[in-house]
């Protein structure tokens, strides 16, 4: 989705805003713009394309207050006219916005009747005109009045020629205020601010804040003052930079041993302690999520059913509301790395409305889902900047293993011996991932043919069927090759018709109870002439007889095989995209955090 930033203080705002904006580029990169207050006037500069384009064209404007925006188009094409910031007709107010104003058509018509001139097709522009028209002695009062008329989702920042304050507001789109020394910052995401501060204040829904250089005041939309302490973010700037890697995605893939280690730290010994589980008994589990988080949920079904024996269903967040109501109240597990995905937040609210207890798995402290859910498991992956999720997926799986074990404890559904074994195996996972990473060059050499193909199939069975889906998603997201994940047994019911010598098939053939059947499926594929890359378990010398290419991963318990396998598939997708010259960290048309339904 779009990213917004703001700065007020004694330094040059333009430089700081461009720097922060670049760190938000993963939220949108079709156009960008900056508004700076200089000598009582607001100067707005915008351009189409990535932030580097804006940076190369921008005229230096001196001033200590400003706002900026990077856009991912929803209403109106990516053009300079539709880029933010928007300015009021009288030129006195500028605004940047992330979200969707649902009643903007009505408001726009009324504003046009009232004599306002619109320069864009966006829903966001109405905010600048509403603020101009609103009654109020200062910018803060005018923004509050303007928001009275607005329905929908917003994170917005507004300035006026006075340069005294930035006014920000939030409803269903993320917004964080960074606290500095005699300077303050505003951003959609804390990663934008880490160079400047790690002390932050999260704005909640239907709140508005007056941000001045030396103070921040928060109010709700009814005008009540809100007291809120600041939070220290443990992430540092290095976490949010590429540190010598050519892409964030590669850096984040290589950070996975550490991310898993962090996600396990101190948790395996304290599984019994969470009162949430002792106070609530569940007879089933429902998992919701979107994209990669949905795939983590699909793996989670196998984990939770095996460990806790609780029947588990998984649903895409945007479909959850259409599911029929049942009498029983499952534990609803909401998976979202950002904690801000609109479809997933809506599902969480729907689950609460149905009287279900909710547990969120998220990577972002202070994100919206942490306020919606009854309890939270944080994934501790550190900031993930690449649009394609990698380390957050793997740490979501870790959270699901922990959850499965926790449920198993309260239901006494596994023996203490099995439990001990699982805990030992989990501790060894960072090493297994590292072993795969140490062979990244070998994976790269397996991508030459695939990089030239138009379509790649990924097949697996049981717990590695969702791993295949995630491998396919990675490939299509970043390399623009059609990737399709399939349960291996289902190929013969249709997709075999699509296979040819030009269609690589990646087959997950680990040594578990699916192995023999997987070999049968590989034979079906090779009989159609399709080249197979089989991913198997170390020590397996038989696979070479069946598949053209083989890559072996360290032996882990069958329950944990998705972890080393997905690391292979992440690298496979990465190297294909690299060979094809794709913009890996910022794939076309998709954004990391989608705050519209």
Q: Which residues are catalytic?
A: 2, 592
Whole-number Å distance between alpha carbons of 219 and 170: 11
Find out whether the peptide bond into 85 is cis, omega within 30 degrees of 0: yes
Task: Match 């010994």 to its residue by tokens.
Answer: 269
14 binding ligand G6P? (CB under 6 A): no
> Whole-number minimum distance, CB 338 to ligand G6P, in Å?
3
Query: What gap in Å lies between CA 217 and CA 505, rounded to an integer?
Result: 57
Burial environment of residue 303 by CB neighbours within 10 A (0 to 12, 13 to 18, 19 or more): buried
Q: How far is the CB of 199 from ligand G6P (least distance, A)?
A: 24
Q: Which is nearer to ligand G6P, 6 or 174 (CB)?
A: 174
Q: Work out whether 342 is an interface residue with ligand G6P (CB under 6 A).
A: no
Per DSSP, the three-state class of 234 is coil
CB of 473 to ligand G6P, least distance (A): 8
Give the residue with the Cβ less far from ligand G6P, 341 or 450: 341
Among the listed ranges 129-137, 289-297, 463-471, 556-564, the one in contact with ligand G6P (CB under 6 A) is 289-297
For position 387 contacting ligand G6P by CB under 6 A, the verdict is: yes
Measured in residues, the chain has a length of: 597
* Residue 308 contacts residue 302 (beta carbons within 8 Å): no
Contact (CB, 8 A) for 450 and 504: yes
Stretch that binds ligand G6P, among 158-166, 195-203, 291-299, 517-525 (CB under 6 A): 291-299
- What is the CA angle 374-378-383, rounded to 5? 135
* Residue 468 touching ligand G6P (CB under 6 A): no
Q: Does 341 bind ligand G6P (CB under 6 A)?
A: yes
Question: Which whole-number Å values give the CA distances from 215 to 209, 211, 485, in the listed order?
Answer: 10, 6, 52
Question: Site for ligand G6P (CB under 6 A): how many residues?
Answer: 15
**Cα separation, 448 vs 288, whole angstroms:** 36
Task: Write out the two tokens for 102.
Answer: 């649902």
Residue nearest to ligand G6P (CB): 291
- Interacting residue with ligand G6P among 293, 450, 475, 561 (CB under 6 A): 293
Q: State which of residues 336, 379, 570, 595 lies at the interface with ligand G6P (CB under 6 A).
A: 336
Distance (Å, whole) CA 573 – CA 589: 18
Neighbours of 77 (CB within 10 A): 12
Q: Segment contacting ligand G6P (CB under 6 A): 32-40, 332-340, 420-428, 529-537?
A: 332-340
Of 130 and 594, nearer to ligand G6P (C-beta) is 594
Show the CA angle centred on residue 328, arms to residues 323 and 332, nearest 5°: 65
**594 near ligand G6P, judged by CB under 6 A:** yes
Q: Is residue 337 a contact residue for ligand G6P (CB under 6 A)?
A: yes
- Quote the DSSP letter at residue 528: T
Task: Check binding of 389 to ligand G6P (CB under 6 A).
Answer: yes
Report, in Å, the least distance between residue 562 CB and ligand G6P.
Answer: 16
| Among residues 14, 124, 308, 593, the one that binds ligand G6P under rule CB under 6 A | 593
Distance CA 163, CA 348 (A): 39
Helix, strand, coil percentages (3-state) for the chain, rounded to 5, are 40, 20, 40
Q: Smaller CB distance to ligand G6P: residue 53 or 590?
A: 590
In this complex, which beta carbon is closest to ligand G6P, that of residue 166 or of residue 594?
Answer: 594
Token pair listed for 188: 């959609």
Q: Is 290 among the residues that bind ligand G6P (CB under 6 A)?
A: yes
Each as own residue / partner, the long-range contacts of residues 214-220 (CB below 8 Å, 24 or more positions apart, any chain) are 214/182, 214/184, 216/177, 216/179, 216/184, 219/144
- Other beta carbons within 10 angstroms of residue 143's beta carbon come to 26
Longest dimension (CA), the chain: 79
Nearest distance, CB of residue 320 and ligand G6P, angstroms: 13
Q: How far is the CB of 587 from ligand G6P (least distance, A)?
A: 8
Shortest distance, position 387 Cβ to ligand G6P, whole Å: 5
Q: Considering only 44-52, 228-236, 286-294, 463-471, which stretch makes contact with ligand G6P by CB under 6 A?
A: 286-294
Question: Is 291 one of the binding residues for ligand G6P (CB under 6 A)?
Answer: yes
For position 338 contacting ligand G6P by CB under 6 A, the verdict is yes
Q: Does 292 bind ligand G6P (CB under 6 A)?
A: yes
CB of 389 to ligand G6P, least distance (A): 4
Q: Which residue has the tokens 């097709």?
A: 121
Nearer to ligand G6P, 165 or 585 (CB): 585
Smaller CB separation from ligand G6P, 251 or 461: 251
Compute how many other C-beta atoms are within 10 angstroms of the C-beta atom of residue 284.
Answer: 15
Please name which of 170, 161, 192 lies closest in space to residue 26, comparing C-alpha atoms.
192
Query: Is 230 buried (19+), middle (13-18) or exposed (0-12) by CB count in 10 A?
Result: middle
Does 592 help bind ligand G6P (rule: CB under 6 A)?
yes
Residue placing its CB nearer to ligand G6P in the complex, 14 or 337:
337
* Residue 344 within binding range of ligand G6P, rule CB under 6 A: yes
Residues 501-520 that bind ligand G6P (CB under 6 A): none
Binding segment for ligand G6P among 271-279, 325-333, 336-344, 509-517 (CB under 6 A)? 336-344
**Sites of contact with ligand G6P (CB under 6 A):** 290-293, 336-338, 341, 344, 387, 389, 590, 592-594
């Amino acid at each position: 989705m779009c990213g917004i930033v703001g700065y007020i203080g004694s330094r040059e705002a333009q430089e700081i805003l461009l720097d922060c904006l670049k760190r938000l580029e993963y939220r949108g990169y079709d156009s960008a713009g900056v508004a700076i207050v200089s000598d009582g006037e607001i100067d707005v500069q915008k351009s189409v394309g990535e932030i580097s384009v804006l940076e190369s064209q921008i005229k230096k404007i001196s001033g200590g207050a400003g706002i900026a925006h990077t856009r991912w188009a929803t209403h109106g094409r990516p053009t300079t006219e539709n880029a933010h910031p928007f300015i009021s007709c009288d030129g006195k107010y500028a605004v940047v916005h992330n979200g969707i104003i649902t009643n903007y058509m009505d408001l726009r018509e009324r504003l046009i009747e009232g004599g306002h001139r619109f320069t864009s097709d966006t829903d966001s522009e109405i905010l600048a005109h509403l603020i101009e028209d609103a009654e109020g002695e200062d910018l803060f009062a005018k923004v509050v009045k303007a928001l009275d008329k607005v329905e929908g989702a917003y994170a917005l920042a507004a300035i006026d020629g006075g340069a005294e304050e930035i006014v920000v507001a939030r409803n269903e789109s993320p917004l964080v205020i960074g606290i500095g020394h005699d300077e303050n910052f505003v951003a959609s995401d804390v990663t934008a601010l880490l160079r400047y501060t790690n002390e932050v204040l999260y704005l909640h829904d239907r709140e508005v804040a007056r941000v001045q250089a030396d103070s921040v005041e928060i109010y709700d939309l009814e005008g009540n003052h809100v007291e809120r302490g600041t939070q220290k973010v443990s992430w540092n700037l290095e976490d949010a930079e590429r540190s010598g890697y050519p892409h964030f995605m590669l850096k984040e893939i290589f950070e996975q041993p550490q991310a898993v280690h962090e996600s396990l730290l101190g948790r395996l010994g304290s599984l019994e302690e969470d009162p949430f589980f002792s106070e609530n008994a569940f007879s089933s589990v429902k998992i919701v999520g979107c994209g990669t988080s949905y795939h983590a949920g699909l793996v989670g079904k196998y984990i939770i059913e095996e460990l806790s024996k609780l029947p588990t269903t998984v649903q895409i967040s945007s479909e959850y509301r259409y599911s029929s109501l049942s009498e029983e109240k499952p534990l609803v597990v909401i998976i979202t790395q950002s904690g801000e995905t609109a479809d997933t937040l809506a599902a969480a609210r729907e689950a609460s409305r149905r009287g279900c207890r909710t547990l969120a798995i998220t990577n972002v402290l202070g994100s919206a889902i942490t306020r919606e859910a009854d309890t939270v498991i944080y994934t501790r992956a550190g900031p993930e900047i690449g649009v394609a999720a990698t380390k957050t997926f793997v740490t979501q799986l870790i959270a699901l293993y922990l959850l499965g074990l926790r449920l198993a404890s309260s239901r006494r559904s596994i023996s203490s011996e099995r439990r001990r074994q699982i805990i030992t195996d989990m501790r060894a996972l960072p090493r297994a991932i590292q072993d795969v990473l140490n062979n990244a060059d070998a994976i790269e050499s397996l991508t030459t043919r695939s990089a030239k193909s138009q379509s790649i199939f990924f097949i697996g069975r049981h717990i590695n069927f969702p791993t295949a889906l995630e491998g396919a998603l990675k490939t299509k997201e970043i390399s623009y090759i059609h990737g399709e994940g399939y349960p291996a047994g289902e190929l013969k019911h249709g997709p075999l018709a699509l296979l040819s010598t030009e269609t690589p098939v990646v087959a997950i053939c680990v040594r578990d109870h699916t192995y023999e059947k997987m070999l049968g499926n590989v034979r079906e594929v090779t009989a159609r002439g399709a080249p197979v890359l089989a991913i198997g378990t170390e020590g397996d010398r038989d696979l070479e007889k069946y598949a053209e290419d083989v890559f072996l991963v360290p032996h882990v318990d069958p329950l944990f095989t998705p972890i080393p396998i997905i690391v292979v598939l992440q690298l496979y997708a990465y190297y294909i995209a690299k060979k094809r010259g794709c913009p890996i960290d910022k794939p076309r048309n998709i954004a990391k955090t989608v705050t519209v339904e």
